[in-house]
A and B are shown apart, each in its own frame.
Chain A
Amino acid sequence: MVEVDEFKTKIRSMISQEYSLEFLGNNFEQIVKTISDSKAQSIYNWIQKVIERKIQPITIGSKKQYKDWKISELMTFRYAFNLNNVEYRILFVKVKNSFYIEFHLGDHKYYDKVRKSLDLKKGNY
């Protein structure tokens, strides 16, 4: 099982940037504590691929504001995994051609909430 601080430190060291990455999610700590070492390694491998630009981002041409940025200035990387038959998702948000700002981890409900605030979900289409 993974220690929360160790998990955060590892990700922060991988992206190595001055801007402080925020880790967010309703049950972030509880979820991290149930991640096995091998699952954590898969997440680190995925982050490495994000850094190497091997993972495709989702971008949105929206003029809406999200915190200090316009949504069109951001890109989001998505990773899904399963823990004890519950689907969890990571949304890793980056400012285009710049630093990473947020690492979201949560269940489907939380994922939908973040997607809405990032303008990625506008209802049931």
Chain B
Amino acid sequence: MIIYNPNDEDIIKERIEETQKILDSIPAKYCFISGSFLFKKDYRDIDIFIISRTKKEIKVINKKINIIRIDFNDIYSLFYHSASKSCIAKNILPKKPLKVTIADYWDVINEAVPTVLNEKDKYHKNIRFLVLYTEYLKNNQILDTYELRRKIEKFKNFGEILEYIKQEIPLIINKQAKKSYIKRYFYTQAGYYKDSIDYKSQKYLYELSHNIVKGVA
């Protein structure tokens, strides 16, 4: 068993033993547990991540266990780097250098905006990728699942998230990408939103695309 804990957070002692038992029962070489089960007395789910090439279903009796499969081709992703940053793993976990693109980031934003506007009070689960990407591209810091949860809890309402997107994203993208790429990519995106601008989310994304090109928040 390997404990990854770069921030030296307090892992609940009894949970280490429990984690080992759970991981031993999982028929996979590369699997790990991260999240609130390790750090919080009260937890809702036990997130078990399994890295595997096969799609064979793994059945577990414990109803609190939530299995998340990660394909070997996805271990370069920010999602994997975040989930595995602070965790307890059965074996040493495979690592590949992180690969993050502006197009991936935009896909995340594109889905987060309508979802936040639809869910309003139940946005917490749906902004994980948004916050993860934004914090990484802004501060070069990969948040682990626990840090991510704390960051998300700081938002008081969905309005604050929309404001966060509006303020942070044009500056981040202008810092990370070349002007010529930004112009080409975001003018094209704005064109797609134009057809459905009568929807709040599409209008927001249309204006955001233009602000990114202009480089203003």
Find out whether the CB atom of B77 lies under 8 angstroms from the CB atom of A59.
Answer: no
Any chain B CB within 8 A of the CB of A13? no
Q: How far is A4 from B10 in the complex, measured between Cα atoms in Å?
A: 51
* Count of inter-chain pairs, beta carbons less than 8 A: 65
Residue among B71, B74, B110, B111 with the highest chain A CB neighbour number at 10 A: B111
> A57 and B114 in contact (CB under 8 A), knowing A97-B195, A97-B196, A125-B107?
yes
Stretch from B12-20, B142-150, B186-194 forming part of the interface with A: B186-194
Known A124-B70, A125-B77, A125-B104; contact A61-B192, beta-carbon cutoff 8 A: yes
Give A residues with C-beta under 8 Å from B: 53, 55-61, 72, 75, 78, 85, 96-97, 120, 122-125
* A125 x B63 contact (CB < 8 A): no
B108 CB within 8 Å of chain A: yes
Sorting the interface of chain B by its residue count into under 10, 10 to 19, 20 to 34 or 35 or more gives 20 to 34
B interface, CB within 8 angstroms of A: 63, 70-71, 73-74, 77-80, 104, 107-108, 110-111, 113-115, 117-118, 129, 133, 188-189, 191-193, 195-196, 198-202
Contact B74 A124 (CB under 8 A): yes
| B110 & A60 in contact (Cβ 8 Å cutoff) | yes
Given A75-B196, A96-B196, A125-B104; A57-B202 close (CB under 8 Å): yes
